Structure 1
Amino acid sequence: MRLHDLGPMRAAVRSRLLELGLTDRRFGYPLEMVLRVAAAGWRIAEVDVDYLPRTGRSKVTGTVRGTLRAVADMRRVMAELG
């Protein structure tokens, strides 16, 4: 399967999610979750949803600091799990 986005909504059984041992508590969390879920052999599904355009500015890509923090966190996750 090919993911198109690391969107904000994820659904999983809590006990199974805790078993994955996720450690990142910042911007790398979505990437770590997807990588660990795939390694564990879980089924991953994307569901299209209707949404309104964003109002305001993203805390991640809307600032240089947020972008740099996200890149650093995701690089760390990739180094640990990739």
Structure 2
Amino acid sequence: MQHRAPRRDAYNLTWRMRVAGIDAGTLRRAWHLVTERHEALRTSFSRRDDTVVQEVRPAVESELAEVCWDTVPPLPAG
């Protein structure tokens, strides 16, 4: 999509937040339900020749990695 609208951040939003006490199994189930319900979260775009093609993938169980960040120093503010 950025080929059609070259503004760098038009289709990518980043943000961070502090979260404590997440249950990994509950998060997995919630993510599956949300992606099953909303096609936009399963949609990708690619270029074929000179055309942008939209593809909606079927809902499947996603792999979510669990990572412990306790030993990683915090990012500087700002």
Normalised-by-shorter TM-score class = under 0.3
As a proportion of its length, which structure holds more strand? Answer: 2
Structure label with greater radius of gyration: 2
**Which is helix-richer, 1 or 2?**
1
Q: TM-score by structure 1 length?
A: 0.26
TM-score, normalised via structure 2 length: 0.26
Higher-RCO chain (CA-CA 8 Å, sequence separation at least 6): 1
